[in-house]
Amino acid sequence: MWSVLRRAGRAMSRAGALASLVAVLTAAMAVSAGVVLDRAQHRAMTQALDRKVGSVAAAVVHETGRYVDTLRTVAAATGAFEPLTAAKFARAVDPLRHMGLAGATSIAFMVPADDGEIGRVQALWRERGVPGLTLTPVGSGTGHIFSIFSEPFDGSTAGGLGVDVTQAAAPTRALAEARRSGRITVSDTYLLIRDRNLPERQRQQSFVLTAPVYGTPGPPPASGADGERPFLGWVLMGLRGQDFMTAAVRRSAQNSADVTLSARNADGTEGTVAAVRAESDRHRTDHRTVDVAVAQARWRLRISVVAADLPGAGPFPAAMTAAGLGLGGLLALLTFVLGTGRARADARVAAATARLRRTEADARDHAALLTAVVDSVSDGVGVVDEHGRFLLHNPAAKALLGVEEDSQDGADTWQAHYGIFRPDGATPFPTAELPLARALAGEASDQVPMVIRNGGNPDGVVITVSARPLHGSAGRPGAVAVFHDVTARAAADRAIAEANTAMREELALREAAEAGLRAARDELATERAYLRQVLDALDVTVITCDADGMLVHTNRAARVAIPGLDAGADAGAGGPLPAVESSRRVRMAHPDGTPFAEHDLPLLVALHGRRVDGVEAHVTQADGHQQVVMMHARPLRDREGQIMGAVASSYTITALRQREAELTAFAGIVAHDLRSPLTAIGGFTEFVRDSLGDGLCGQEHREERAVLDRALATTARMRRLIDDLLGYAAARDAVLDARDLDLRAVVDDVVTERLAAQAADPTSPPPQIFVGAMPSVHADPALLRQLLDNLIGNALKYTPPGQPARVDVCATPHGTGWVRVDVADRGIGIPEGEHDAIFTGFHRAHRTADYAGTGLGLAICQRVVERHGGTITANDNPGGGARLSFTLPVAQSARFTARSRVPSDQTFG
């Protein structure tokens, strides 16, 4: 018995040791399997996170690149226009409205200007389509940048024209960097003024993209190299960061990650451009940070996700480890039971039966756990039996398939039941090629793409399916399939394909633009050659020089008139000549015989920025031949308003002056010879009329007095005509006695006399004459008085009957050493097209009996002004009436300023 007990004890010991060994081995295998599964799951999660980060970063880079390429194309098109106008700029940016530029607020064209250039720049762009443009500088200096054109994209009204953007630091730095580098530049982030009053959660940071604009190349230098492209300004696009960011990452992030885009500003701080947050409220466990290139800057992209939401995440490794440990314990227990031998088997049959029942329950629990693990997998899993009836579809598979009830009628019904189509989304997927059908036939398949579209997924879901056959060793024959959602990846692939197509289209547009620029360059060369032929065909001499005063071009008439020019700039024999050298080859003098000083030459005067009109000169050739010529000159400016040279023209008026001299002499003789008899006639007529007293005025005497009155009126008109003829001759031929005069005193004297004469007529309403501050001028007293008397007299005369005349006489500085005097009225004005003709002798714009005259008054005024070296013009008065303006040199003793010691403003009447 003891031996039996010892054998039983040894058998039980051996059975216990074997059971322990089995338990240790199965536990080690379970733990190892769990570790391997956990590592595989971690790699899958890391790869999924890396793919998401790459997709979002690629979306941001692609979207910013699209904006940069768009801005570069607009800048190239803007620079190609010659000249650039508001209408052309609007036409260039109109295609951008249809490109879906999310976040873009507006696009504007900016130009630089110094303090001294603001007036010229404003006038230039008013002429080019912005008539109401007013440039408003901030501070003073040489660094103003003004908005000229602006086109909105976000539905707001275009505004901000004429604003000096240097008051905003971030855009100013971006503009400066773009001009320095010649590349598209992104600014620091900043808050728009209109966003500052919004609630905190509605505010969003903004930034600008700016590109320099260069014009067509200038004329090539002497070396033959291509001309340098002039800098015209900038094209600036404003973007709202949150709107831009949402559009850029909406599809790539798939509402499953937090995305934050930040930029490092110039002051070293890091500003948030925008942030997009997923709907999940769970704590973000994994983070990635990458740098993306935006124009010249590097922005930082931070992505945060919940690891459990990533594909492949779940408790599957732990569950598998637990199941393995459970199965190991079960095997150890079975080993121990079997090892105890038959001696104990009978005694413990009942206990073994109870343990088996408990083991069966544990196995069912483990099976339920395995089912739960399969249900928690993010990829879809489906299992069918050998007849094609579905045994299992986990929740992920049902969500992807979009159908709650599975088909149990075999593989032939799968396509119609689940809505399975080829990747094009339209062609039904053949049943024989379905991965599960092929697996039932014993053929494995991997990553087969297809589209599921049915009532549960009306927009369609793109998936890939991998299937494997299940053999009898698995417990039951059939097949298993794994479904993976690749909708986001397919969308990203389509986006990349669309982006590539857009890039190819933009490249084609750019090549077309370059071809247009080349054609424009060739056309410009043809037009330049044509212009040279036209200038050579003119009998008017034309001479141009560069900014250094060196001759650039002379036409045929100039080369004939001035000896030696044919060996100068155009012929290339002796190289370019200084402009002053052309005047030394002939003798030039003013009409009074004074030689021209070099600084008075019209070409050099225009080179200093002044216009020259109607300067008369007496030219003596080397052979002694003399001519009288009329000269004009203009400065030539580049696109930025800087003087790049000057052009002067002249034509001979020798025959004209000879005829005028003869006519003037004749008029003087006639006027002088007619004065004496005319005075006698007038006196005798007045005597006869006065002899017919009022008491003797019968019917026949009244008729005689009317005839005498008409004779006296005719005599007065003839006397005025003779006085005007003598004045017209004196204005040209009298010796000029120029001296420093108090202009205000002369104006007051003329106004006083005119008011006294006006008061003698009780039927005429008293006029109102305003005289502003006046400087001292350098002029001939008699001619100046005649000039002012004619202009103020005309302003009083050309007033509608019964309406009081209103005249304003003002003076303002006009360049260096000159003053401009304006005589403005509220009268009947000047007819359209008559503004230049009214200065012609004997020309009258209003030929009615209400406004009598000889037509010589303004011709005399023009001669007086031109003899003083000034100009006179006629324009419409903005408030109605006419405005006559003329220029005179300021007094040599003092220069005119706004605080000159002159009488204050005064109103007469």
> How confident is residue 219, by pLDDT bands cut at 50, 70 and 90?
low
- Read off the CATH number of the domain in which 604 is found: 3.30.450.20
Flag whether 278 is in a domain: no
> How confident is residue 46, by pLDDT bands cut at 50, 70 and 90?
confident
Q: Is 80 exceeded by the pLDDT of residue 22?
A: no
Q: Is 50 exceeded by the pLDDT of residue 474?
A: yes
Which ranges of 692-777 would DSSP assign to H, the alpha helix?
Answer: 699-733, 743-759
- Read off the CATH number of the domain in which 661 is found: 1.10.287
Per-residue model confidence (pLDDT) at position 213: 93
Q: Is 60 exceeded by the pLDDT of residue 222?
A: no
Flag whether 545 is in a domain: yes
Tell whether 778 and 723 lie within a shared domain: no
Q: Phi and psi of 799, rounded to 5°? A: -125, 140
Percent share of the chain, pLDDT over 70? 76
Close Cβ partners of 303 (under 8 Å, ≥ 6 residues apart): 49, 52, 53, 56, 253, 257, 258, 259, 260, 287, 288, 289, 290
Condensed to tens digits (0 to 9), the pLDDT of residues 368-389 reads 666 666 666 678 888 888 887 8
Per-residue model confidence (pLDDT) at position 909: 59
Flag whether 126 is in a domain: no
Flag whether 115 is in a domain: no
Per-residue model confidence (pLDDT) at position 571: 40
Residue 424 gets the label, from left (phi > 0), alpha (psi -120 to 50) or beta, of alpha
Per-residue model confidence (pLDDT) at position 313: 56
Tell whether 898 and 751 lie within a shared domain: yes
Least-confidence region, from 6-10, 61-65, 343-347, 720-724: 343-347
Q: Phi and psi of 830, rounded to 5°? A: -115, 130
Q: What's 121-136 look like in SS3?
A: HHHHHHHCCCCCCCCE
Flag whether 156 is in a domain: no
> How confident is residue 290, by pLDDT bands cut at 50, 70 and 90?
confident
- Read off the CATH number of the domain in which 746 is found: 3.30.565.10
Tell whether 777 and 889 lie within a shared domain: yes
- CA dihedral sign, ordered 515, 517, 521, 527: positive
Whole-model pTM: value is 0.36
Tell whether 600 and 705 lie within a shared domain: no
Most confident of 61-65, 75-79, 315-319, 741-745: 741-745
> How confident is residue 775, by pLDDT bands cut at 50, 70 and 90?
very high
Q: Is 90 exceeded by the pLDDT of residue 747?
A: yes
CA–CA separation, 329 vs 526, rounded Å?
Answer: 99
Tell whether 711 and 764 lie within a shared domain: no
Of the residues 373, 408, 442, which one is the last residue of a structural domain? Answer: 373
Range 481-508 average pLDDT: 83
Per-residue model confidence (pLDDT) at position 212: 95
CA–CA separation, 237 vs 604, rounded Å?
Answer: 43
Flag whether 838 is in a domain: yes
Closest CA to 188 of 301, 300, 264, 291: 264
Condensed to tens digits (0 to 9), the pLDDT of residues 25-40 reads 777 777 777 777 667 7
Per-residue model confidence (pLDDT) at position 291: 86
> How confident is residue 844, by pLDDT bands cut at 50, 70 and 90?
low
Tell whether 627 and 684 lie within a shared domain: no
Q: Which two tokens stand for residue 780?
A: 């001939």
Condensed to tens digits (0 to 9), the pLDDT of residues 587-630 reads 888 877 788 887 788 888 888 888 888 788 888 877 778 888 98
Condensed to tens digits (0 to 9), the pLDDT of residues 275-289 reads 777 777 776 767 888
Q: Is 50 exceeded by the pLDDT of residue 804?
A: yes
CA–CA separation, 561 vs 342, rounded Å?
Answer: 142
Q: Is 50 exceeded by the pLDDT of residue 468?
A: yes
Close Cβ partners of 443 (under 8 Å, ≥ 6 residues apart): 469
Tell whether 830 and 761 lie within a shared domain: yes
| Residue where the block lists tokens 């003709």 | 837
Percent share of the chain, pLDDT over 90? 12
Higher pLDDT, 595 or 336: 595
Per-residue model confidence (pLDDT) at position 376: 64
Q: Is 50 exceeded by the pLDDT of residue 567?
A: no
Tell whether 749 and 701 lie within a shared domain: no
Per-residue model confidence (pLDDT) at position 575: 56
Of the residues 718, 733, 748, which one is the last residue of a structural domain? Answer: 733
Condensed to tens digits (0 to 9), the pLDDT of residues 880-891 reads 889 999 999 999
> How confident is residue 561, by pLDDT bands cut at 50, 70 and 90?
confident
Q: 367-374 long-range contacts, Cβ below 8 Å, gap at least 24?
A: 369/319, 369/322, 369/323, 370/319, 370/323, 372/319, 373/314, 373/315, 373/316, 373/319, 373/320
| Residue where the block lists tokens 């044919």 | 566
> How confident is residue 157, by pLDDT bands cut at 50, 70 and 90?
very low
Per-residue model confidence (pLDDT) at position 848: 52
Q: Which two tokens stand for residue 156?
A: 């707001």
Range 743-757 average pLDDT: 89
**Rounded (10°) angle between helices 2-80 and 487-537:** 20
Tell whether 581 and 552 lie within a shared domain: yes
Q: Kindly give the pairing relationship between strand 270-276 and strand 185-186.
A: unpaired
Per-residue model confidence (pLDDT) at position 23: 74
Q: Return the amino acid letter for 498.
A: E
Condensed to tens digits (0 to 9), the pLDDT of residues 685-697 reads 777 777 766 544 5
Per-residue model confidence (pLDDT) at position 901: 39
Close Cβ partners of 292 (under 8 Å, ≥ 6 residues apart): 57, 60, 61, 64, 298, 299, 300, 301
Q: What's 42-57 look like in SS3?
A: HHHHHHHHHHHHHHHH
Close Cβ partners of 133 (under 8 Å, ≥ 6 residues apart): 122, 125, 126, 148, 161, 162
> How confident is residue 818, by pLDDT bands cut at 50, 70 and 90?
very high
Average predicted confidence (pLDDT) for the chain? 78
Per-residue model confidence (pLDDT) at position 147: 92
Close Cβ partners of 724 (under 8 Å, ≥ 6 residues apart): 854, 856, 857, 860
Condensed to tens digits (0 to 9), the pLDDT of residues 404-433 reads 778 777 788 888 888 899 988 889 999 888
Closest CA to 796 of 765, 831, 838, 763: 765
Closest CA to 764 of 794, 809, 733, 802: 802
619: which strand partners? Answer: 588, 627
Number of Cβ within 10 Å of residue 608's Cβ equals 12
Range 537-561 average pLDDT: 85
CA–CA separation, 880 vs 213, rounded Å?
Answer: 42
CA–CA separation, 134 vs 160, rounded Å?
Answer: 10
> How confident is residue 295, by pLDDT bands cut at 50, 70 and 90?
confident
Flag whether 415 is in a domain: yes
Range of 548's domain?
Answer: 538-649
Tell whether 699 and 796 lie within a shared domain: no
Domain total of the chain:
5
Flag whether 86 is in a domain: no
Q: Is 60 exceeded by the pLDDT of residue 830?
A: yes
Range 532-553 average pLDDT: 85
Tell whether 556 and 412 lie within a shared domain: no
Tell whether 848 and 743 lie within a shared domain: yes
Least-confidence region, from 378-387, 659-668, 725-734, 762-771: 725-734
Per-residue model confidence (pLDDT) at position 267: 76
Q: Is 80 exceeded by the pLDDT of residue 820?
A: yes
Per-residue model confidence (pLDDT) at position 899: 35
Range 804-833 average pLDDT: 90
Of the residues 699, 733, 767, which one is the last residue of a structural domain? Answer: 733
